[in-house]
Amino acid sequence: ELGRDEIAERALLDGLALSPSDVDLLCAYAELCAANNQVDKAEKLVQRAAAEQPHAPVVYAARIQVAYARGDDRTAQRISREFVAAYPENPAAHALLGSTSAMRGQVGAAYAGMRQAAAAAPTEQAFAESALDLQIARHPLMLPLRPILRFGPLKTWIVAVVLIFGLRQIGLPVLSALVAVSWLLFCVYSWVVPPLVRRWVRRRWR
């Protein structure tokens, strides 16, 4: 948690030397490896943990983290659903389902998952804040901004730039200009509307 990954790895290896089948240690090491782009190593560690306790909550969580590190949002969401089905009262399971759904741009499912997590763990402020953020994202005025939520601002910007200059290159300057103006209006909308929606939803949330 302090970002001292080398010390963390040494401690985990020392622990596993004493208890090589410890599921918590295996999954913690897997998550550390996944966070450092050692995804193949992380997956092998999770497999070892799953061989010991295939349905342990910590194993579900580690499998989700590894899938996410691979960029496989679909698999991460599927495992999250399995986690919720196995542990319907576990707030972490609902939170992970909310997070993986959000990564896939499924705002409604993301909000439902995070709301369940917040209800199951009312003292966990992070769950409540995430539920509020997703409630804001579900507002009708935020619908035009879903591409940014799904793909991120950088990818959305790249697509817009490629489209604008691509249309110009193939001899459609008028259409290119219309797309450029639309993109500019979209940018202004993305700057102005979210703060107003956030203020409105927060007022009602209280």
Of residues 16 and 153, which shows the higher confidence score? 16
Contacts of 89 (CB under 8 A, 6+ apart): 120
Asked whether the predicted pLDDT for residue 19 surpasses 70, the reply is yes
Which 8-state DSSP code applies to residue 89?
Answer: T
Question: pLDDT value at position 76?
Answer: 92
Token duo for residue 200: 């409105």
Strands (E), 37-163: none
Handedness of CA 127, 128, 133, 135 (dihedral sign): positive
pTM (predicted TM-score)? 0.73
Planar angle of CA 206, 125, 87, nearest 5 degrees = 115
Question: Which residues neighbour 150 within 8 Å (Cβ) at sequence distance 6 or greater?
Answer: 104, 105
Condensed to tens digits (0 to 9), the pLDDT of residues 50-69 reads 999 999 999 999 999 999 89
